Amino acid sequence: MTQENTAVELPEGYMPSPDEEFMNANQLEYFRRKLEDWKDDILRESAETLQNLQEDNLREPDIADRASSETDWSVELRTRDRQRKLVSKIDSALRRIEEGEYGYCEVSGDPISLRRLDARPIATMTIEAQEAHERAEKVHRDE
């Protein structure tokens, strides 16, 4: 089941509500925009980081200053790597919107709460399924 690529005009200040049909056109458009804005922010910040890394160089005369810069850059690059993985998850969520699967738990098939999706629009499981998954992971780690 796929969603048509028709532009949905959201009412000003629209927020998804449990009183409306789950994953109706307005809700899907709301989450699509939220995901795309998030992705745009990450990509813009990443480009700025690359620009800063290219402009800065390791010519600080003081060894302590150089070490501090290298540490800062290392932290920044790790952050960017995490964000690259996040962009992949955002792309996956956008695909699920297009395929009509967004908002439903990949384990149980139940709707994921709108509050959870608003807080974490890349969520793929209900809170209950996520907690069960994490408990199972902990058991495997503890063995």
pTM over cut 0.85: no
Q: Sign of dihedral through CA atoms 78, 82, 85, 87?
A: negative
Q: Sign of dihedral through CA atoms 46, 50, 51, 52?
A: positive
- Return the pLDDT at 143: 63
DSSP-derived letter for residue 23 is T
- Return the pLDDT at 1: 43
The domains of the chain, with CATH numbers, are 21-102 (1.20.120.910), 103-143 (no CATH)
pLDDT along the chain (143 residues), means of 10: 63 95 97 97 84 62 73 79 92 97 97 97 96 87 66
